[in-house]
Amino acid sequence: MSNYLPHYDELYVVSDIHMGGAGDFQIFNRGGRLANLVRYIASQRPDGEVALLLNGDIIDSLAEDLAPDYVALDTDKALRMMDRIYKDASFSMVWDSFAEFVRTKGRTLVLVIGNHDIELALPPVEASVRERLAGGLAAANGRIVFATHGGGFACTVGVSRVFCTHGNEVDGWNMVDYTKLGELANAMNAGRRPDSAKWEPNAGTRLVIDVMNAVKRKYPFVDLLKPETKPVLATLLTLERGLTKRVLPHLPGVVWKKIGGDRQVRDLLSAGGDLSQVSADRVAGVVMTELLGPSLGGRVDSVRPKDEDSLLLRAERTFNKKEAAKSADDDDIETLGVFDIVASRLGLIDEVEGLRRALDDWLKDDKTFDIRNEDDPTYTEIIKRVGADVDFVVTGHTHLAREIEFKPKRHYYNCGTWIRLLRLTKEVLGDEKKFKSKVFEVFQRKSMAELDGAKIPGPKGQEVSLVFDRTNVVRIFDDHGTARGELLRAGDGSQKGSVNLTLESQVKP
């Protein structure tokens, strides 16, 4: 049943490049290294068939200035965005290397869609990419494959079947509605002007645009907190307390499903129900319990005002019955609801200490960089979706590299990311003074360059870089009829224009 699939002698997979944004909105900073890797791959097996697969989030439209839109679903805006990304000095060498790659015989470039680059599914954007890479050359154009329908990409290497997918399809925050995306593409192909207003951005997109982009103008580091999940919200709220009331009430139902531990409250909220039928105290309790981790939540509880219970009763009465307060003393109580309660409690915590505890919760029992860690929702959910004849599964999305044998001779890989990664040690998270001087003060300098050069306390009294340099590529290759897989770490080679590839399992932490 797999004879319809393309066959390669070698397949290389990279993911989450995130070419997009300007200045400190750029989180990808390894353009030269990636270009060198692409040229290295192009030189392998000169007489064989070699594919390079970009496994989603190739560009990052969410880092672009597309206001007032969430994504560039207007043809003109999308093409202007792509032209800017092609020409950006941080990215242009990567596009040049892709162009060289597809102009080489026996090389195939595959583009899989993610959740930050849905514009790649639009016919005018696909045409733009083809023109940038192939320049009208038919042979080169034929070596470019777009897998932007949401189905991922399948192929064979040796006698083994390989399935590659970004992984956002199992992430409730970042699922893409490919049906509606297809309708937009259909409208463009049919010569109609698509109504992008019908596009409903997912929770992850809204979180980035409505929350993270606003905060990262002050704290660029927040864009390195990936993926966009519950602990990230807690971290953001310690930095900008006003976000609680301004943003959380308007996020889609999927966010409520993520933070709601009480099913009745969760279902009511996610269904767009009437909040007036649920007590403010009850909803606030759900939000606090589910949104904040044990370290930050415990600290918030320890400073809870003694008279808050009476305040909550008064707030609940107004919240439920929507009775306008008549006296001057009750003017503030009228507007005190769930998010006022949450914000007021967070406001009692020192900003530095709140951030330290939020990050400590985010990295509790940290297995972030453990490539064998099976406690990973993307891994567990994707594996449930693959058939028994798939030998290799490759994802991205989480930015966390993984190499797991999930069944005998069947392998799962996550090829990680090419953006910066934050590495916070227990030595700095466990010491408030060190955290303030070594981490928080760097965050306040509002510069990615400052992050790149920062050092923090690490194990055995040594200092380590705050930004972890870890760029990965998955290689699946035919070894005399048997397909083998490797998770490799790509580094700069000793000579200009070269790249150094090391087995990830052999790299020291």
User: pLDDT tens digit string along 130-166?
Assistant: 999 999 999 999 999 999 999 999 999 999 999 999 9
- Give the DSSP H/E element, type plus range, for residue 326: none
Mean residue pLDDT across the chain: 84
**DSSP track, 251-274:** S-HHHHHHH--SHHHHHHHHTT--
| Per-residue confidence (pLDDT) for residue 318, from 0 to 100 | 47
Share of the chain above pLDDT 90, in %: 54
Query: Higher model confidence: residue 248 or residue 349?
Result: 349
SS3 of 70-102: CCCCCHHHHHHHHHHHHHCCCCHHHHHHHHHHH
| Per-residue confidence (pLDDT) for residue 3, from 0 to 100 | 79
Residue 29 has pLDDT above 90, yes or no: yes
Q: How confident is the model at residue 199 (pLDDT cuts 50, 70, 90)?
A: confident
Of 37-51, 77-91, 304-318, the range with the lowest mean pLDDT is 304-318
| Per-residue confidence (pLDDT) for residue 214, from 0 to 100 | 79
| Per-residue confidence (pLDDT) for residue 284, from 0 to 100 | 62
Where in the chain are all domains bearing CATH 3.60.21.10?
7-191+370-424+466-506
Provide the b/e sequence for 385-418 (b: ≥16 CB within 10 Å): ebeeebbbbbbbbbbbbbbbeeeeebbbbbbbbb
- Checking DSSP bridges between strand 410-414 and strand 421-422, what pairing results, if any? unpaired
Query: Higher model confidence: residue 320 or residue 324?
Result: 320
Per-residue pLDDT averaged across 340-354, rounded? Answer: 77
| Per-residue confidence (pLDDT) for residue 262, from 0 to 100 | 47
Residue 353 has pLDDT above 80, yes or no: yes
| Per-residue confidence (pLDDT) for residue 309, from 0 to 100 | 54
Class of domain 7-191+370-424+466-506: alpha beta
| Per-residue confidence (pLDDT) for residue 321, from 0 to 100 | 47
| Per-residue confidence (pLDDT) for residue 217, from 0 to 100 | 81
Instruction: Give the angle 336-338-342 at the CA atoms, nearest 5°.
Output: 95
Share of the chain above pLDDT 70, in %: 79
Residue 228 has pLDDT above 80, yes or no: no
| Per-residue confidence (pLDDT) for residue 275, from 0 to 100 | 47
Instruction: Give the angle 393-398-404 at the CA atoms, nearest 5°.
Output: 40
> Which one, of 493, 489, 484, lies nearest residue 504 by Cα?
489
Q: How confident is the model at residue 306 (pLDDT cuts 50, 70, 90)?
A: low
361-410 pLDDT, tens digit per residue, is 776 556 778 899 998 889 999 999 999 999 999 999 999 999 999 999 99
Work out the widest C-alpha separation in the chain, in whole angstroms.
85
| Per-residue confidence (pLDDT) for residue 327, from 0 to 100 | 37
Enumerate residues 6+ apart whose C-beta is below 8 A from 32: 93, 492
Q: In angstroms, rounded to a whole number, what is the distance separating the alpha carbons of residues 249 and 132?
A: 42
Query: Higher model confidence: residue 287 or residue 349?
Result: 349
| Per-residue confidence (pLDDT) for residue 244, from 0 to 100 | 60
Provide the b/e sequence for 1-11 (b: ≥16 CB within 10 Å): eeeeeeebbbb
